[in-house]
Amino acid sequence: MCVLTALMMLPRSAASPSSSGVGWQQHAVFSDVLEAANLVESSGVCSLPGCSIPHDRFMPVLLRAMSRGYVKDSVGKYVMEGFTSGFTLGVSRSAVAGVMGRRYFRNYPPAFKFRNAITDALIARVKKFKTLRLGLWSDVRPALEAVEDCALFPMGCVPKPHDLKVMRPTSDHTKSGWNSHTVMGVLGHTLDTFKRVSWLLKKNTFMYVSDVEDAFMLIPLASWVWWFFLCRGFASYKDCEESVFMHLFADFGSRGMPGTFKLFLVDVVIQMALSEFVLTLPVVVHVDDLACFHDDEEALNEEMRLFQLWSTLVCGVGWKLSKDKKAALLQLFCGFWWDSRDLTLRLMEEKLAIYLDCF
């Protein structure tokens, strides 16, 4: 049996994503959940409508990068299994089965104060098939009695770092108990963006900055994990009762998610691009923001264009092209203005004002 065939036969999640699964399939509010779970069981998690990863193009290139030594075998197998059965974010099924029970939490006050922002975010996920709307809370709650272990996590709301007027939902998977079962292992990492950029940004070096589109939502969850990624929110501005939503893809708030995304983007996708000689210039990644460096402006812009096209077609990674910051000697990255002309940097004006106010 060849290596490709063996890896393609990695075990998939059972059709029942619940820990017990007894009876929940009979409830009409879970009909979409059952359909999605059966699809994952029969065709793999990349067959979900919301998954952008082109499994048949992605896997062979990843295997080639592994054979060349660009991607560690342990990392490659972790990512391959994730895009076959779904990612578990460092939590084992046995750790939560029969332990979590049914946990329901109300959203925090900011989520009600900015309820329209929560609604916009949830409905956007639903339209992209990243999340299922199960129905009104009053209809879903009785049906959840058929699920042995599940968690309805609370949501909050905070301003976006680069646009303080826009509110972004937050997911508290610590309160729900999910994060306490996370085993970091290979998911543990530290961010050293400042040091890396300082080292790479030489005199009169150009920097190009780009942002991954939907970032964490690229990561599909294992079907049994869906039951711990339930939340409540209003399905429209006019609704008086909250609906229940189920995330099929990751969100912000899970302890193991940053490490999982780092393995996917930094240790796999970028290494695949290096292996294929699509990417030849040094890059620094800060969560979902990427900076690339070169002393030639046109060459840098062209290489980033080709890399973005390749990563979208082969890896399913989209980019916020309208927000791209083309090659420049004075560039904004991670809240700082980096100036390679005189090798200085300064804070963003908005952040400086906030800091001064706090002081």
Higher model confidence: residue 183 or residue 22? 183
The full set of domain ranges for the chain reads 3-183+217-257, 264-358
Q: What is the pLDDT of residues 192-203, one digit of tens each?
A: 899 999 999 999
Does pLDDT of 2 surpass 90? no
pLDDT band at 19 (very low <50, low <70, confident <90, very high): very low
Residue among 92, 86, 95 nearest 12 (CA): 86
Residue among 295, 301, 280, 300 nearest 341 (CA): 295
What is the CATH superfamily name and number for domain 3-183+217-257?
HIV Type 1 Reverse Transcriptase, subunit A, domain 1 (3.10.10.10)
Does pLDDT of 98 surpass 90? no
Residues paired with residue 243 on neighbouring β-strands, in sequence order: 136, 233
Q: What is the pLDDT of residue 354?
A: 74
What percent of the chain lies above the pLDDT cut of 90? 80
Gyration radius from the chain CA atoms: 22
Q: What is the pLDDT of residue 355?
A: 76
State the burial class of residue 328 (Cβ atoms within 10 Å of its Cβ: 0-12, 13-18, 19+).
middle
Mean pLDDT of the chain: 90
For residue 90, give every residue at least 6 positions away whose Cβ sits within 8 Å of its Cβ, in sequence order, or none.
Answer: 182, 183, 184, 185, 187, 255, 256, 259, 260
Give the other-Cβ count within 10 Å of 233's Cβ.
24
Question: What is the Cα–Cα distance from 273 to 303, expressed in whole angstroms?
Answer: 11
Q: What is the pTM of this model?
A: 0.88
pLDDT band at 15 (very low <50, low <70, confident <90, very high): very low
Q: What is the pLDDT of residue 272?
A: 98
Q: What is the pLDDT of residue 160?
A: 75
Does pLDDT of 349 surpass 90? no
Q: Are strands 283-286 and 289-294 parallel, antiparallel or unpaired?
A: antiparallel
Question: What is the Cα–Cα distance from 102 to 106, expressed in whole angstroms?
Answer: 14
Q: What is the pLDDT of residue 245?
A: 98
pLDDT band at 348 (very low <50, low <70, confident <90, very high): confident
DSSP class per residue in 4-63: HHHHHTPPPPPS--SSS-TTGGG-GGGHHHHHHHHHHHHH-GGGSTT----HHHHHHHHH
Q: What is the pLDDT of residue 12?
A: 41
Q: What is the pLDDT of residues 124-151, one digit of tens each?
A: 999 999 999 999 999 999 999 999 999 9
Question: What is the Cα–Cα distance from 219 to 214, expressed in whole angstroms?
Answer: 10
Per-residue pLDDT averaged across 155-162, rounded? 82
Q: What is the pLDDT of residues 166-197, one digit of tens each?
A: 788 999 999 999 999 999 988 988 888 999 99
Report which DSSP code applies to 346.
Answer: E
Tokens (6 digits) for 73: 């075998």
Question: What is the Cα–Cα distance from 223 to 21, expressed in whole angstroms?
Answer: 12
